[in-house]
Structure formats: structure tokens, C-alpha cells
Structure 1
Amino acid sequence: ATSPVRITLAGVGISSLFLALTLAVLATSRLFAFASLTFIGGSLFGRGWDDVNAAWPFAVAGLGLSWLMAQPLNILILGDDVAAELGLKVERTRWAGLALAAVLGGTAVKVAGLVGFVGLVIPHVARFLVGQDYRQVLPASALVGAAFIMACDIVARNVIAPAEVPMGVVSAAVGVPFFLYLLRRAR
């Protein structure tokens, strides 16, 4: 049987492989290297109101739709069989949740670049803070995630000032130990 932990590990491995290939291509090409490396490493450098204006409609729509998805997600926690018996269309709910996560994740990546471990760490922290109810977990994840990104950006800008460490390095410094903790706890 394929467990969520194995799927997560496979995803991390595949992601790492493609990141290494991307970095190899960028290392051999000077064209767009700075912008690409800034995107891959994650950064709020150079971001302004134009970026906020481009992102907010997707963020607001995604957060609104996530509020509507909260109750079906709460039912889904009970298991597929129970959820189906309660009238939930399990597959449709999973696909809708995946599409919603893609829109919200894509919006965040558009603004901040690739910042690893946020999607893994922050929902767990939010659940710890507010409990299991998705009506609280989803907005708490948005707020805690925004605060985490801002904190990572502040550390990234100041740890070796005047140079800047990629924000993804800072988030990985928090995310990797947390990820290992989750793997250990899942055993």
C-alpha cells in the first residue's frame, strides 16, 4: 500500500531532481540567470504593489472558495466510506480541493517564487494552534503562512547583510527538521 509519507517522500525526491536539473541549465546559461535564481530561491526582493494587484483577485477568490470547501473537507476527514454515506461526492471534493490548492499555491509562487516547505509546515502549525476544523485551519494557515514568509524574508535579508540569502534557504532551515519530525512521528 502507498502511504501518504511515501508519496510525500517521492514528491520531495522528484522535486529535488528537477531542481538540480534546472540549476544545471541555469549554471550553463547567463541569460535570465538572476531572475531565475531569485524565483527558484524565493524572494520578495523587488516586489511591489503591482505584484499585489496581480495576485489579490486570485488570493481573495481562492480564500473565499476555501471557506466553502471547509465543511466538505471536514467530512472527508471521516474517511471515504463515511463521507460517501453522508452524501459527499468524494472524488469531486478531492479534485476541487486540489484545484483550489493549485490556484492558491500558484498565486503565492507568482509573488514570492519557490519557497520550500511552506505547504508542509504551515498547515500543521495552524492545526496545532486552532484544532482540526478546516473552517479555522484554512484562514489560520493563510495568516501563519504570510507571517512565516515575512519572517523568512526578514531573516534572509539580514543574516549576511548587505547580501541576501534566498528565502527558500531560510524556510528549508525550518522545514527540513519539521519534515523529519513528521516522518519520525508517522512511523
Structure 2
Amino acid sequence: MAKSTLEKIHTKFSKPSNLVIATFILGGGTVFLVLSIALSILYGASDISFQTIWQSITNFDPASTSHQIIRGLRIPRALAAALIGAALAISGSLMQGMTRNPLASPSIMGVTAGATFMMAIALIVMPGASNFVMMLWAFAGAGIGVAIVFGVGSISKSGLTPVKLALAGTAVTAILSSLSSAIAIHFNVAKDISFWYAGGVSSVQWIHVKLLWPIALIGFIIAFLLAKSITVLSLGEDVAKSLGHQTFLIKTVGTVVVLLLTGAAISVSGTIGFIGLVIPHITRFLVGVDYRWIVPCSAVLGALLLVIADTASRMINPPFETPVGTVTAIVGVPFFLYLARREGGKM
């Protein structure tokens, strides 16, 4: 009976028009993503022709400075931007589905602030730590940030609501960011921590990509496997339980995926906000509320947005670079204010 009801729910959500749009996003979006990565590799401070780029890929010459720039800097930068954008977008979609909170995202729910705070601690207690160790500290900080936000938001008698969760996330983010700044100034590591505040992929190298992609791949696969359950959970916990879903297990695994994806992304790029807020809403508007489509489409659109934003950050004030977090905030802040005002932040 429960299985029959579940199939009816997914059949209702999977409208033909939504499936067509989702297929177009996955197909066309992937093509645009490849083109945007090519544009990101082509454009930079050094004027390098497309022919030189192609030669650096097919016939690499270690003695050529242009080839070294392409292979050592621009390609890993573009690939990292795509992976990070996809990771943040999937994290946001999972958080919004699990909490039924349209304002949920890694940057608003204390995940990014917690990760940055712990990385500031790591710079003091473990100076010169490897990239992998810093990534572990970011995972721990992301978990602490989420725990504090949900703890603060649950204090009131009426329990958690979307607005309370957003307010708790904003307050905790402000506190952790202030503590990070105080630690950075007191221990004279402000220059080191400023990278994570600004957010960007300008200093990404292959070692970062090699650490990022396995964790991102694991997170993507688990998120795709959870998508069907997240769809039911987004209808309400009572509905999910009545259909035989183990809501606590789903939320636990989903939270672990969010921490993995967000922690790995932040450890490489620093704080890049609003991708996890904006992209899931755009995707849900286009393909409906079936997370079997929302998760993969969010990954494609999130990757596309960050690659384009990173390229735009180089075009705003050349030859200087604008922090990519600033570019995403220009899009995200008005969107956040709109969501906060609309019906009190209800889904």
C-alpha cells in the first residue's frame, strides 16, 4: 500500500514538461558547462591563443611558459570551480529538502562559517598543515556550525521554523565570523585567513583538485541515491514515516553528505555564498519538486554558475581579480531578501 502511494507521488511529480526541461538542463547545461570551462581556460591575465591551449593539452611542452600556465593553473582552476559549484548547489538542495526550509543553504546555516572558524584555529595550532589536514578541520568546523545552529534554533517552545532557523544561522554565522577575525588578528594570521573570507579559486592547483574530486564524487553518488527519499521527506516527516521511510537515517546520511561536500569545497575555495541558496530554487522552479531531477540539475547549474562567476571576476576590473564570492553575492543577496519576505520563508 505504502509502495503504491509512493509511486503515485513520484508519478505526480514527474510531469512530462518537467522531464523535458530536466533533460534539456542535463544535456544542454552540460554542453554550456564545457563551453564555459573552455572560456575560463582561454581568458586570463596572459593573452594565450586557443591554438596554444590545444597544443598544451595534446602536446605539452614543459619549457613553454604558456603551456605551464594552462596546464598548471587555468585547467585545475576551471575544474575546481565546476566541482565546487556542483557541491554547494547539491548541499543546498539537500538542506532545503530535509528541513523544508527555503532559506537553508551552507552559507546561511552556519556550515561555511563553522568550517572557516576551525580552519582559523588550524592555522594557529598546526601551521604549515597539509591540504588534506586542513580539509579535515573544515569538515569538523562544518559539523560544529550546523550543530550550533540547530541547537539555538530549537531552544524556543514552538520549535524550529524556517524563519527561526534562518535567524539562528545568521546569528551563529556572525558570531563565528567575528571569532575567526579576532583569532586571525590576535595571532597575526589575518593574511592567511583572508583567503577563506574572500572566496575564490585563483590559487587552486592540481593537488587541490586531486583531494576534492574523490570526496565530491562520493557525495554526488550518495545524494543521487537519497534523492527519492528526500522528495518524500520534503512533503513532511509524518508523510515520510507513514510511507515507511526512516526519516532519522535519511536526515543523518543527508547531513553527512552536506558536511562532506561543503567542507571539501570550503577547504579549497574559501567562503563562496548563495550558490546553495539560489540554484536549488531555480532548479525547483524549472523541473518541479522531484529531487531525482533537482539533485543532478542543481549540480549542473551550480557548476555552470560558479565557472561563469569565476570568469566574470577576472573581467570586472582587469588585470586585477574581484573575489568570486562578491560576484555570487551580487546575485544571492537580493534573492535571499526576496525569499525571507515571501510568506515568511515558507516552502
Regarding TM over 0.5, the answer is yes
Q: Note if 1:168 corresponds to 2:325.
A: yes
- 1:89-132 per-residue CA deviation (whole Å, 9 max, x = no partner) reads 11111111111111111122122211112221121122122221
User: Contact (CA 8 Å) 1:5, 1:186: kept in 2 or not?
Assistant: no
Q: How does 1:72-83 map to 2 (within 5 A)?
A: 72-83=229-240
Cα distance in 2 between the residues matched to 1:159 and 1:29: 34
Secondary structure of 1:71 counterpart: helix
Q: Note if 1:129 corresponds to 2:263.
A: no
User: Contact (CA 8 Å) 1:152, 1:171: kept in 2 or not?
Assistant: yes
- 1:26-56 per-residue CA deviation (whole Å, 9 max, x = no partner) reads 345543x333211221110111222111111
Counterpart for residue 10 of structure 1: 168
Residue identity opposite 1:102 in structure 2? L
Q: Which runs of 5+ in 2 are unaligned?
A: 1-157
Cα distance in 2 between the residues matched to 1:117 and 1:72: 25
Question: Which of 171, 184, 203 pairs up with 1:26?
Answer: 184
Residue identity opposite 1:119 in structure 2? G
Counterpart for residue 226 of structure 2: 69
Identity among equivalent pairs (%): 38
Provide TM-score, normalisation by structure 1.
0.90
Counterpart for residue 113 of structure 1: 270
Number of aligned positions between the proteins: 186
Provide TM-score, normalisation by structure 2.
0.51
Structure with greater contact order relative to length (CA < 8 Å, sep ≥ 6): 2
Cα distance in 1 between the residues matched to 2:167 and 2:313: 26
- Larger Rg, first or second structure (1 or 2): 2
Root-mean-square deviation (Å)? 1.7
Cα distance in 2 between the residues matched to 1:150 and 1:5: 31
Cα distance in 2 between the residues matched to 1:29 and 1:157: 32
- Give, in angstroms, the shift of residue 134 of structure 1: 0.6
Residue identity opposite 1:80 in structure 2? E
Q: Note if 1:50 corresponds to 2:207.
A: yes
- 1:137-161 per-residue CA deviation (whole Å, 9 max, x = no partner) reads 1111111111121222222223222
- Give, in angstroms, the shift of residue 6 of structure 1: 1.9
Q: Which runs of 5+ in 1 are unaligned?
A: none
Cα distance in 1 between the residues matched to 2:323 and 2:180: 16
User: Contact (CA 8 Å) 1:38, 1:166: kept in 2 or not?
Assistant: no
